[in-house]
Amino acid sequence: MEGWGAVYLQQVVNGLTIGSVYALIALGYTMVYGVLEMINFAHGDVFMVGSFVGLLVLALLAPSSSAAAGGGLLLVLGAVFLGAMASCGSLGVTIERVAYRPLRASSRLGPLISALGVSLFIQNAVMLLVGARPKAFPQLIPKQLYHVGGAVFTNVQVIILLASLLLMLALDQFVRRTRWGRAMRAVAQDAEAAGFMGVEVNSVVTLTFLLGSILAAGAGIMVGLYYGIVDFFMGYVAGLKAFTAAVLGGIGNLRGAMLGGLLLGLAESFGAGFVGAHWRDVIAFGVLITVLVLRPGGLLGEHLPEKV
């Protein structure tokens, strides 16, 4: 590796890759907080389930688990993404119906405790179903290395970055331009008033969980492809980091979650790369604390319902 410029560039690539995954998961936290003002702590585990459903779909499609060729590869990838997104979408919606909706009128702690319970339930259910040992995620996409300016990145990293950005852009436009998106924004602003104006609040909440879980499933597949190893506990740390990213950007703020995710990824890779690997989390959370001290609402401002 040549000079510092190359190292710098390499760490940017490292940080953006993991950061875009954080951002995808963070969107789920932030959307749910926007409409319900609750933190869905089971969201990280939905992301983990996404990885395992992807693994299951792969096992069903290609028992040999060898990479499919050319056009077949795109079909397989599509099937894996669709299968994981469909399952996680319904899982997210079910969690809301079963564990959160009955508690919506209770204290703010009710849904939080319930979410922690759901998280433990999902983790242990997956552990009992597939075992505690890490599983190999087949390398569907034949890896290619690109050397640019002394840095190295793989086609998988490019795919992750592009796919994440595409999903985020789609969500952003959906919320800004469609009727459903407007309904979501209305409920986020004032659920009661939106209800009076004929918005079906419960449908909007369901939609929010559906979208967040679909994005988490996408992230789950990408992480599987990127690292090639998945286990039942992977949602815990990833969820924690993504939640941090959401707070960093401003909880409840969609673009804030995207920015927060990318920034956290960069902070981690620069921290681990230039200061020391064991400083990684110290630096990531140090950045969070600093931002919150200077800007309590996060980088792009917290989304606060306008109570008049």
Q: Which residue from 211, 234, 287, 300 is in contact with another protein, where contact means CB under 8 A?
A: 234
Residue 11 as a binder of another protein (CB under 8 A): the answer is: yes
Closer of 207 and 242 to another protein (Cβ): 242
Please identify, among the stretches 71-79, 201-209, 214-222, 275-283, the one whose residues bind another protein according to the rule CB under 8 A.
Answer: 275-283
270 lines the binding site for another protein (CB under 8 A): yes
Q: What is the DSSP string of 184-237?
A: HHHHHH-HHHHHHTT--HHHHHHHHHHHHHHHHHHHHHHHHHHHSEE-TTHHHH
What kind and span of H or E run contains 148? strand 145-148
Closest CA to 263 of 230, 231, 295, 234: 295
Residue with Cβ nearer another protein (72 or 134):
134
**Which segments of the chain does DSSP mark as H helices, in order?**
4-36, 43-61, 70-95, 109-130, 155-177, 179-189, 191-196, 201-227, 234-249, 254-270, 280-294
Distance in Å, CB of 224 to another protein, minimum? 11
- Per CB under 8 A, the segment of 30-38, 165-173, 201-209, 269-277 that binds another protein is 269-277
255 binds another protein (CB under 8 A): no
Neighbours of 125 (CB within 10 A): 13
Candidate residues 68, 227, 302, 304; the one interacting with another protein per rule CB under 8 A: 227
Per the DSSP assignment, residues forming a β-bridge with 230 are: 135
Residues 6 or more apart in contact with residue 138 via CB below 8 angstroms: 58, 62, 65, 66, 67, 228
Cβ proximity to another protein: between 278 and 307 the closer is 278
* Total number of residues that touch another protein (CB under 8 A): 40
Name beta bridge partners: 148.
151
The contact pattern for another protein, residues 107-146, with x = CB under 8 A and - = no contact, is --------------------------xxxx--x---x-x-
**Binding-site member from 75, 162, 166, 237 for another protein (CB under 8 A):** 237
Q: Give the angle subtended at the CA of 269 by the CAs of 303 and 173, to the nearest 5°.
A: 35
C-beta atoms surrounding 302 within 10 Å: 16
Hey, which residues between 141 and 200 contact another protein (CB under 8 A)? 143, 145, 147, 152-154, 156-157
Which stretches of the chain bind another protein, using CB under 8 A? 1, 7, 10-11, 14-15, 17-18, 133-136, 139, 143, 145, 147, 152-154, 156-157, 223, 227-229, 231, 233-234, 237, 268-274, 276-278, 280
